[in-house]
Copies of this chain bind each other. A is one copy, B any other.
Amino acid sequence: MNQERPISGRLRKAPEGFLSRNGIQKVTSEAKNGRRDFIRSTFAAAGAVLPAAMAWSNPPPTEDGDPHILNLPEHSKALGRGVAADGSYGQPSGFEANVRRRHSPGLTQTMQASVSFAPLQSLFGIVTPAGLHFERHHQGWWDIDPSKHRFMVNGMVKSPKVFTVDEIMRLPAVSRFHFIECGANTAVEWGNVAVPTVQYTHGMISCSEFTGVRLMTLLEMAGVDLQKGKFVLAEGADGSSMTRTIPMNLITSGEVFVAYGQNGEMLRPEQGYPLRLIVPGVQGVSWVKYLRRIEVGDMPYATKDEAVQYIDLQPDGLARQYTSIQECKSVVTTPSGGQVLLDKGFYNITGLAWSGRGKVKKVDVSVDGGRNWRTARLESPVMSKALTRFNLDWVWDGKPAIIQSRAVDETGFVQPTYKQLRAVRGTRSIYHNNAIQSWLVQESGEVKNVQVA
């Protein structure tokens, strides 16, 4: 399904001979002379800014033997580019062009009802930058004028209310870090189709700091009837009429909010600008984008995207509905499929863990296909229903190794093996695959997606 060449990530080899004694002495000498001269010259000029040539007035001999030409890169001698005075938003380094979202040709029939996957193999920590956040659109994305957008609360409320975006932004704000995972993340692995990279196996997850107003605050302003109102319908303004039912107990807990901010700035248009519903722990389809309405009701709404889509086909032929919590899951992101280990020796095994039920308690890592496990270090902060980054030291001996991670959340739920998951759920599901992922490191150093029975 994917014809793109897998990327080797950041596991390149050092240039030959760079760590030689001569090389070190040369760098040392250049740096020392440079620094000393720079300080002396600066003082002589009473703090004025000096041309680079003066500052490096006594250059050491260079490789070609001419002592008057200092063998430094251009960026160490000349003026660079100025500050973003024009307000330019900037871009990642040109050398990182390979770190990008990717879609999977053939997976969907149109680019408007489609997916782009986040390059997990190249991401660090837990924050996903907006430009690399996975996308799932049902009818394409829009850049909606926020001054014309309205958000309504109606249904089982005393007085229906319509809010402008500015009105929402005057209300008490909350900021929280949460992951968002598409219910269909890791979908094709159900059928034992081993796609090559972690970008395609697990790339429909991202994590951000969201800012907005608790939905409960808005419901209270409308005089919600909590005796009758046990569910809400969330409705988006895009052409797909995305609608999802959310049980009221998630809302009264205070966790659900209407967001306008994501990672410090306004939501990106691809992520639902100007308003999106944040439903921590629940699959992404319920995080309705371009949110225009919340209706309070007394029963689930059985909308198209919960009655006939986003359901789990069971081994007995019946389907589970309303299975929206993303259970505890983890994945090693380096080394992962498509990367190449070029030497034996030390590697930092790193990955992500999460649970829709709360905090990650522990992540164990195996390098022998699940026979032996070591506990990984969790980076702080460990937050409820957010990604958690884990790291573990590993010395590769050059022999084949099968790398796995297994997360446990604060409820005690242990991430299942494929065998355990399939015993209950069969193989015909699309959604909610949270099985342990296996990466085979071959003797060649190439890393491959495999399924361990």
Q: Which residues of A contact B (CB under 8 A)?
A: 10-15, 18-19, 23-24, 27-28, 31, 34-35, 38-39, 42-43, 47, 49, 52, 55, 73, 75-85, 87-97, 99-103, 110-116, 122-132, 135, 137, 139-148, 150, 152, 154, 160-162, 164, 166-167, 169-177, 208-211, 233, 235, 237-239, 241, 243, 260-261, 263-270, 273-274, 290, 292-293, 295, 302-304, 307-309, 345-348, 350, 379-381, 383, 389, 391, 393
Contact = CB atoms under 8 A, between A and B. Distances in A.
B78 A239 contact: yes
Contact of A28 (B128, B152, B170): B152
A170 B261 CA distance: 34
Contact of A266 (B96, B126, B345): B96
Contact of A83 (B78, B94, B125, B137): B137
A284 to B, nearest CB: 14
A77 B113 CA distance: 14
A15 to B, nearest CB: 7
A221 to B, nearest CB: 10
Contacts of A147: 12, 95
Contacts of A110: 79, 82
A130 B127 contact: no
Nearest to A308: B47
18 contacts: A10-B166, A18-B162, A31-B295, A35-B235, A79-B139, A80-B140, A81-B140, A87-B97, A89-B131, A90-B131, A93-B267, A93-B268, A99-B266, A122-B266, A127-B208, A170-B347, A173-B350, A380-B383
Contacts of A295: 31
A211 B280 CA distance: 25
Contacts of A52: 239
A39 B99 CA distance: 39
Contacts of A264: 123-129, 132
A295 to B, nearest CB: 8
4 nearest CB pairs, A to B: A80-B140, A82-B111, A124-B261, A87-B100
Contact of A142 (B80, B379, B383): B80
Given A95-B143, A154-B28, A348-B172, A125 B309 contact: no
A128 B241 CA distance: 32
Contacts of A393: 172
Contact of A235 (B31, B78, B150): B31
B83 A111 contact: yes
B211 A124 contact: yes
Given A100-B89, A111-B85, A261-B125, A162 B27 contact: yes
A263 B263 CA distance: 9
A392 to B, nearest CB: 9
Given A75-B238, A79-B110, A175-B389, 14 more contacts: A14-B164, A24-B160, A31-B152, A31-B293, A38-B241, A81-B142, A123-B264, A124-B175, A125-B175, A125-B261, A170-B348, A173-B348, A177-B381, A263-B263
Contact of A346 (B92, B103, B171, B307): B171
B304 A42 contact: yes
B12 A90 contact: no
Nearest to A86: B100
A24 B151 CA distance: 10
B127 A308 contact: no
A290 to B, nearest CB: 7
B273 A211 contact: no
Contact of A171 (B93, B239, B265, B348): B348
B24 A152 contact: yes
A219 to B, nearest CB: 16
A238 B76 contact: yes
Nearest to A85: B103
Contacts of A274: 93, 95
